[in-house]
Chain A
């Protein structure tokens, strides 16, 4: 491979890196307040479908993304209402919402577009070269000649890191996910924190979904996420629920994804199905080894009830 191929490859990695980042960082944000939401795959699908339909209707990717984020936020609201306020099992509610999102994505598409062989297409995202910076050799084309979501995903990862570890809001948010009773005893509003994190997190997940038709296919197809929601959930897990390690993990994931596609194009003789399974197999392997060093938020998956008495 020559240099151009390598920069081209890394450029593609960043392109496919976006949905993992948005979905995983969104999952992480809710997780840091103790909520383990497994509805990602469904919320991404709903975001992809509705985002696409709205973008097509208004001929605006911006409005489309906004709609996808609204849909995601709605899912987050329902999720946290059922778990934080009604105290229902987080996993079961997440699963139910996964189903709803999955069905909603196809339903909305069929109701609006109908069953057709030639679905409408939207323009896919354009590259926005950053003046001057994009001219830097090697780094320029990789980092500074991408679509806006790539820039956003980089910014988001930095921002979440800064927010969680360098601000006192971040400290409070993490305290809620580690020991809500301690946070509560210091006057932090546990419920409000959980609502905010779940809703904003799910908005990011919805946005991750909307990116797929906008960056790749130009249209929505059933099951367009191909398990990226679940992979993102896994990534959040072995990324240790930290923005910076998730960032690295997402790079790794997208590199595997792009590599698999590349090898397929090269007609290496390896059946392409084998390559398609690579991300999942590698994820399983990483989960085996990751479980040893990863620390999960202390209160992950549990619901907090102030008046619950310790038993004994």
Chain B
């Protein structure tokens, strides 16, 4: 290498179980640059940085700092080499103060005692220098996410980092906070630090980075200077060419539009003036919409804006404060969940591991959850075990679940197979209404396509689908109509012909339809 890099990662490999997360990845970072690390979900960005930070051990490959090979076996080694990392989920002890969180693991001046007066002065000086205001004596759990992020950055600066890694730092920030963050990063690189900025948001990368590397499926795709880059080149690099657009029925827009236009008259789900939430602040506010037979209604919104609560309210898992829900003309407000599942609602939850999977139970036990009191799995009292196994074997086959068999422990399955298992469960019976929450997140493209075909099959059979997703492409592709959520309220409604990323994006950030 002719150029003098501060950090070089060469041929990094990392395998989890059978999944190859990183496959011969290279990365070079110069002194005093903001380097964007761009890629979609599961591209390996975070894994690569966790290797750099010593949280994961790489299977092979070398890391060099200032041209010298170093061994990073633990975060301690990483810190000693001047590497700091701000994780997407902040690694903070929430019942400690800001100052305590910053100094843990270092030797304060009063060591071994804990008089932090000196340290607080240092923290305040750092905060001032880089434009990162914090209150050292505040307790973390009382602070908003934006401030907590500043604490994380100061934590790294306090340790004298030379390379600062930020993992999806803008996820929970307001636009103003994003601007402030970017100017702080500029101050840092002006003082000679290097910043690695992980994101899947292209615009941000183009706005703030000096150089950009793109990862896809655990492999390098390209590295470019900002000056040479076009938006288009990056989109291609991120998405890849392996999606054969011509041959995919789903992407043949015309056919799909036709397919989707076929909606029944009969209303399946009707939600009227629904308000959910026990406390003063409701999580779903005065929401009304209806869903017809064979219709797919998309719900857009940034995660945590009331979508989960809406689904759980329909399912009878949340106390409804006001409003009504009816299914096929009958009111089901506050009906018990098991009755609703029997009255043909099926559900694929967003949090697969927590809300969907019986990780300690077998695959077939998972497939009958919620259906365990009805045919063909039970006569109401006794389980029909041979019929369960038979049906489970068939579902494993149909949904292409990779497992040792119906008696395998479900917790042993990989992420994608767990999702196929949950989909198999909810698609195994004829129902009126299907509730899907981020059904394709983290899956590869062939799996996503097969899920889309399954949804369309159900649609043709007249089932109605409520599709909650954070993926706008998915929503635009699959929905007849779209409602946009922000802060538990519907910001706007769009017909398929009106779908437009810009206007949906502004509604997602709280601007009502037509307000602009």
User: Which residues on A are within 8 Å of B, measured CB to CB?
Assistant: 165-172, 174-175, 178-179, 181-189, 295, 298, 306-307, 309-312
B155-196 at interface with A (beta carbon < 8 Å): 155
Q: Known contacts A185-B55, A295-B95, A309-B16; decide if A166 and B113 are in contact (CB<8 Å).
A: yes
Q: Known contacts A166-B113, A168-B112, A312-B351; decide if A187 and B92 are in contact (CB<8 Å).
A: no
**B interface residue count range (under 10 / 10 to 19 / 20 to 34 / 35 or more):** 35 or more
Q: Which of chain B's residues have a CB closer than 8 A to the CB of A184?
A: 55, 74-75
A186:B79 contact, CB within 8 angstroms: yes
User: Which residues on B are within 8 Å of A, measured CB to CB?
Assistant: 16, 53, 55-57, 74-76, 79-80, 85, 87, 89, 91-96, 100-101, 103-105, 107-108, 111-114, 155, 351-353, 415, 418, 441-442
B113:A172 contact, CB within 8 angstroms: no
7 A/B residue pairs, CB under 8 Å, sorted by A: A179-B93, A182-B91, A185-B87, A306-B56, A307-B57, A311-B353, A312-B352
B105:A183 contact, CB within 8 angstroms: yes
B113:A171 contact, CB within 8 angstroms: no
Q: Which of chain A's residues have a CB closer than 8 A to the CB of B89?
A: 310
Given contacts A168-B104, A312-B442, 18 further A-B contacts (CB under 8 A): A171-B104, A175-B104, A178-B94, A179-B91, A182-B92, A182-B93, A183-B93, A185-B55, A185-B75, A187-B79, A189-B76, A298-B93, A298-B94, A307-B55, A310-B89, A312-B352, A312-B415, A312-B441
Q: Which of chain B's residues have a CB closer than 8 A to the CB of A168?
A: 103-104, 107-108, 111-114
Partner of B75, one of A172, A187, A295: A187
Measured CB to CB, the closest approach of chain A to B240, in angstroms, equals: 22
Q: Which of chain B's residues have a CB closer than 8 A to the CB of A298?
A: 93-95
| 9 cross-chain pairs, A with B, having the tightest CB-CB distances, nearest first | A187-B76, A186-B105, A182-B91, A311-B353, A178-B93, A185-B91, A185-B75, A167-B112, A179-B93
Measured CB to CB, the closest approach of chain A to B171, in angstroms, equals: 15
Measured CB to CB, the closest approach of chain B to A30, in angstroms, equals: 18
Measured CB to CB, the closest approach of chain B to A164, in angstroms, equals: 10
CA distance A179 to B111 in the complex (A): 22
B114:A167 contact, CB within 8 angstroms: yes
Measured CB to CB, the closest approach of chain A to B124, in angstroms, equals: 20
Partner of A183, one of B55, B94, B104, B114: B104
Q: Which of chain B's residues have a CB closer than 8 A to the CB of A170?
A: 114
Q: In the complex, which residue of chain B has the Cβ closest to the Cβ of A306?
A: B55
Q: Which of chain B's residues have a CB closer than 8 A to the CB of A183?
A: 93, 104-105
Q: In the complex, which residue of chain B has the Cβ closest to the Cβ of A163?
A: B112
Q: Which of chain B's residues have a CB closer than 8 A to the CB of A174?
A: 93, 96
Q: Which of chain B's residues have a CB closer than 8 A to the CB of A188?
A: 104-105
Q: In the complex, which residue of chain B has the Cβ closest to the Cβ of A182?
A: B91
Q: Which of chain B's residues have a CB closer than 8 A to the CB of A312?
A: 351-353, 415, 441-442
